[in-house]
Amino acid sequence: MSTTWILVANARNARLFANHGPDKGLELVQTCAAEELETNPPQSGRSSRRADLPRQTARGFAHRLASDLYKGRSRGRYAQAIIVAPPSFMGMLNAELDGPTDKMVSSRVGKDYTRAEARELRQHLGGCLCV
């Protein structure tokens, strides 16, 4: 049976699961967190740049996660992927995916399930995945 990767992420945290087929459940492959960009105390004219830091951090994190999906695809570690993320972060992830990796994504779920336990996550993804 082919492997499905499930990326569950928001702008700060992500978990990557693998499902190896029906009745195999979800295997936690990796967890990661966004790295905060170093900031300097705000100075005149820099407050707008400081306000953009969370968005820049999120974009960098989306790039990192898209890179992880690319590497997994290029190494044949999964046959399809499911991405679960809040709509605002989903847009960032989609913008970072290369074409071939994007084609491997069979489902996208616009929710923040980063705090959900694996069992609960399986229930949420019931229509997308044979677990």
CATH code, domain carrying 26: 3.30.420.60
- In a domain, residue 80? The reply is yes
Sheet holding 13-19, edge to edge: 27-33, 13-19, 4-9, 80-84, 105-109
How far apart CA 104 and CA 60 sit, in angstroms, is: 22
- In a domain, residue 118? The reply is yes
pTM: 0.85
- In a domain, residue 119? The reply is yes
- In a domain, residue 91? The reply is yes
pLDDT in tens, 26-53: 999 999 999 865 444 455 555 556 567 7
Instruction: Find all residues with CB under 8 Å of 1, minimum gap 6, and list them.
Output: 20, 21, 22, 24
Domain range enclosing 17 = 4-36+50-124
| pLDDT (average), residues 52-58 | 85
CA atoms within 13 A on the CB side of 60: 13
How far apart CA 129 and CA 24 sit, in angstroms, is: 11
pLDDT in tens, 81-112: 999 999 999 999 999 999 999 999 999 999 99
- In a domain, residue 43? The reply is no
- In a domain, residue 41? The reply is no
- In a domain, residue 129? The reply is no
Report pLDDT for 126.
76
SS3 82: strand
- In a domain, residue 44? The reply is no
Tell me how many domains the chain contains: 1
The DSSP string of 17-80 is: EEE-STT---EEEEEEEPPPPP-PPP-TT-HHHHHHHHHHHHHHHHHHHHHHHHHHHHTT--SE
